Amino acid sequence: MEKRFIKIGNAAELLGVSIETLRKWESTGELVPDRKTAGGTRFYDTAKLLGLGDSDYPTICYARVSSHDQKADLVRQKEMLETYCAAKGWRTEVIADLGSGMNFNNKGLAKLLEIILRKRTKRLVLTHKDRLLRFGAELVFTLCEIQGIEIVIIHKGENPTFEMELSQDILEIITVFSARLYGSRSSKNRKLIQELQVHADKIAEELGVYDPSPQD
């Protein structure tokens, strides 16, 4: 027989959110536990949790940067997402990743995909489209469309030219390739890395997309 009351960890898993999010909702009065022991253990009524409609699922915000040097930018992304959603009156959960936009194994991305596939949100919010993935973002957007999940991109900007997109993809590939080569630390690989960097800088300068602190 299924338990009627479950602890906060199981409740978070059932709703597809984090434990921190449930604690936040408790502090704001949005979702209060049905029981709380003297020791602070929270219990939730599964019948009530299962009775929550799709409209009660939180808006999911996704933020990402590629390296530890960009942690400050990750904080800014999260603050922007939270501020934007608060102005809209949306209850939110922010998922953040620190990893390449070409890496499909990022922990946060995996969690986001699970939420989408289980349809545990009505809305996905990004600061920019490329914060999701360098390749494959359209596939994720299609999954959202199939599930009836709204996609909100705060800063859409002008559509980049084909040359601009191609150069950004080439620079990303060179960056990832260089990082893998650097792991072996051989003199031959170090020389190859330097040559790749020279070519990458040349491509970027010729196409006018050179950025000394790339975000992808």
Q: Are residues 177 and 189 in the same domain?
A: yes
User: 34 is in which domain, residue-wise?
Assistant: 5-52
**214 within domain boundaries:** no
Note down pLDDT in tens along the chain; length 216 residues: 356 889 999 988 888 788 998 998 888 887 889 999 988 899 998 877 776 555 568 899 999 988 788 889 999 999 999 999 989 888 899 999 988 877 788 999 999 999 999 888 989 999 988 888 877 889 999 999 998 899 999 987 654 454 555 566 566 666 656 655 555 555 665 666 566 666 666 665 665 544 444 444
Grouping H, G, I as helix, E, B as strand and the rest as coil, residue 136 is: coil
Q: Are residues 143 and 68 in the same domain?
A: yes
For the beta carbon of residue 124, count every other beta carbon within 10 angstroms: 23
Q: Are residues 39 and 63 in the same domain?
A: no
CATH number reported for the structural domain that contains residue 20 in this entry: 1.10.1660.10
Q: Are residues 101 and 184 in the same domain?
A: no
Q: To which H or E segment does residue 123 belong?
A: strand 123-126
CATH number reported for the structural domain that contains residue 87 in this entry: 3.40.50.1390
- For the chain, the first-to-last Cα distance in angstroms comes to 49
Q: Are residues 117 and 29 in the same domain?
A: no
Q: Are residues 80 and 147 in the same domain?
A: yes
Q: Give residue 96's pLDDT.
A: 94
Q: Are residues 69 and 120 in the same domain?
A: yes
In angstroms, the CA 56 to CA 80 distance is: 22
Q: Give residue 1's pLDDT.
A: 39
**183 within domain boundaries:** yes
CB-based contacts of 142, cutoff 8 Å, min separation 6:
none
Q: How many domains does one find in the chain?
A: 3
Q: Give residue 202's pLDDT.
A: 66
Please identify every residue annotated as catalytic.
66
pTM of the predicted model over 0.75: no
**216 within domain boundaries:** no
Q: Give residue 186's pLDDT.
A: 56
Q: Give residue 107's pLDDT.
A: 92
Q: Are residues 59 and 46 in the same domain?
A: no
Amino acid at 24: K
**174 within domain boundaries:** yes
Q: Are residues 80 and 135 in the same domain?
A: yes
Q: Give residue 168's pLDDT.
A: 60
Q: Are residues 69 and 39 in the same domain?
A: no
Q: Which two tokens stand for residue 141?
A: 């957007």
Residue with tokens 């019948």: 47
Q: Are residues 175 and 141 in the same domain?
A: no
